[in-house]
């Protein structure tokens, strides 16, 4: 592939400046993406859930203290103190199921983070090559405007010398105006591209936009971020289903009860200690509701994984075909450019010798301009196709 030195013909800075890479731009875009910023807190939440799943009890213990008396303003009469320490208990198999669910949640979060990063990379690649295409068109438009200006000056000189007709001067003037209009349009496209890049990365676009190297990955595998995200979502759904199957009732509660009481001020305090076990009943409808909800999540995740695999495979197949097409089109464009360039050289010599008229020269220049534009467009298209193929294979810049 022909390396691209995009922007070197533009007045955008020193030509020796170090070109920024797509990988560096991705870091900038990732650092400012709203969802990416929240992943640190979400990871902390997932790790806290995993830690809670390893605790001795499903929820913390509770303590209660009560006092009972029949004399509000006096120490005489009946008085009782009660203290209770209660702790919930894991149901059989529930602790292991919740631990597995928490671990799968941590893994799923990491997979979603990688998938989001790949999505941002895709957006960045699109903006990168849109700007590259706009800059190439502006560079060509500048060359066309300069060439048309030089031709106009030459024709006006010949008109003053009486060597050409006024019609030729009008044609040259019209060509220069068209070139100026194309240049203004190309400059506007570059401004839009640079603004879009700045919105995505928070930084100005580099003066040179380098191309990507085609990946050596042949086919998408299990490490593909999108496939990993879909697979992790399925594993998390399966873990939640297993947890729902192990949680068929509220957690039982074991309590230690201590009481100290007396009948009146003349009586001594008596003490009592007891143990209480609370076993909530299971609700069939509630159990079925939780089970069906968890099973629905599993079914949806399984279907999404199948669809995701098919979509990724189709994307890779399409991008391979488009890359091959871009390379074929580039080869044809190069051949056509060589032909039109040779035709233009012959026409310019013929016009200088007075053997051909100005319209013939303008047609030859227009054809050469179109062929050169096609070559530069196809070069960018080829580089963009390489990026899109890398994107479809799940390869980060």
The model's pLDDT over 307-330, given as tens digits with 9 standing for 90+, comes to 999 999 999 999 999 999 999 999
What is the per-residue pLDDT across 49-108, written as a single tens digit (0 to 9) for each?
888 888 888 888 999 999 888 776 677 778 888 999 999 988 888 889 989 999 999 999
Cα torsion 183, 184, 190, 196 to 10°: value is -160
**Half-sphere exposure in the Cβ direction for 333 (13 Å, CA):** 20
Kindly list the domain boundaries of the chain, sorted by start residue.
22-64+88-261+270-392
Name the least confident of 140-149, 179-188, 208-217.
Answer: 208-217
CA–CA gap between residue 130 and residue 137 (Å, rounded): 11
For 3, 318, 328, 378, the CA distances from 322, given in Å and listed in that order, are 19, 6, 10, 12
pLDDT at 284: 67
Q: Which position has the token pair 């560079």? A: 139
219 pLDDT higher than 70: yes
Res. 8: pLDDT tops 80: no
If one compares 18 and 207, the residue with the highest pLDDT of the two is 207
Whether the per-residue pLDDT at 18 is higher than 60: the answer is no
The arithmetic mean of pLDDT across residues 221-227, rounded, is 90
The residues, any chain, with a CB within 8 Å of residue 304's CB and separated by 6 or more, are 230, 233, 234
Asked if residue 224 has pLDDT above 70, the reply is yes
Convert the pLDDT of each residue in 374-394 to its tens digit.
998 899 999 999 999 999 999
Instruction: Report the pLDDT value the prediction gives residue 362, as an integer from 0 to 100.
Output: 85
| Mean pLDDT, residues 113-118 taken together | 95
Domain 22-64+88-261+270-392 is in which class? mainly alpha
What are the C-alpha distances in Å from 296 to residues 94, 103, 291?
Answer: 21, 21, 9
Per cent of the chain over pLDDT 90 is 51
- Could you tell me the pTM of the whole model? 0.80
The per-residue pLDDT for range 257-280, each reduced to its tens digit, is 999 988 777 788 888 999 988 888
For residues 266 and 253, the model is more confident at 253
Neighbours of 331 (CB within 10 A): 11
| pLDDT at residue 48 greater than cutoff 90 | no
Per-residue pLDDT, averaged over 210-237, amounts to: 89
């Amino acid at each position: 592939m022909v390396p691209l030195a995009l922007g070197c013909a533009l007045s955008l800075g020193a030509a020796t400046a170090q070109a920024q890479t797509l990988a560096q731009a991705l870091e900038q875009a990732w650092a400012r993406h709203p969802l990416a910023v929240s992943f640190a807190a979400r990871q902390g939440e997932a790790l806290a859930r995993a830690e809670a799943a390893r605790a001795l009890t499903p929820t913390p213990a509770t303590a209660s203290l009560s006092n009972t008396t029949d004399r509000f303003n006096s120490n005489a009469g009946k008085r009782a103190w009660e203290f209770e320490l209660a702790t919930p208990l894991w149901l059989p198999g529930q602790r292991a199921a919740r631990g597995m669910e928490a671990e799968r949640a941590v893994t799923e979060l990491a997979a979603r983070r990688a998938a989001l990063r790949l999505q941002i990379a895709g957006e960045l690649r699109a903006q990168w090559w849109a700007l590259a295409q706009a800059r190439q068109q502006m560079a060509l438009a500048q060359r066309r405007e300069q060439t048309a200006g030089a031709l106009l000056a030459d024709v006006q000189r010949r008109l003053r010398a009486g060597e050409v007709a006024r019609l030729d001067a009008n044609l040259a003037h019209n060509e220069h105006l068209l070139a100026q209009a194309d240049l203004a349009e190309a400059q506007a496209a570059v401004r839009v591209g640079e603004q879009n890049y700045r919105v995505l990365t928070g930084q100005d676009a580099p003066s040179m936009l380098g191309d990507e190297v085609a990946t050596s990955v042949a086919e998408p595998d299990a490490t593909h971020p999108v496939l990993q995200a879909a697979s992790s979502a399925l594993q998390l759904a399966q873990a939640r289903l297993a947890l729902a199957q192990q949680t068929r009732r509220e957690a039982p509660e074991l309590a230690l009860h201590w009481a100290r009481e007396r009948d009146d001020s003349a009586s001594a305090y008596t003490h009592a200690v007891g143990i209480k076990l609370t076993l909530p009943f299971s609700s069939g409808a509630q159990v079925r509701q939780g089970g069906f909800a968890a099973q629905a999540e599993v079914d949806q995740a399984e279907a999404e994984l199948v669809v995701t695999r098919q979509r990724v495979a189709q994307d890779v197949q399409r991008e391979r075909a488009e890359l091959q097409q871009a390379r074929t089109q580039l080869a044809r464009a190069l051949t056509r450019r060589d032909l039109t360039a040779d035709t233009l050289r012959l026409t310019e010599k013929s016009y200088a010798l007075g053997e051909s008229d100005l319209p013939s020269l303008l047609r030859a220049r227009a054809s050469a301009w179109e062929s050169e534009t096609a070559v530069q467009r196809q070069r960018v298209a080829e580089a963009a196709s390489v990026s899109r193929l890398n994107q479809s294979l799940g390869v980060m810049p």
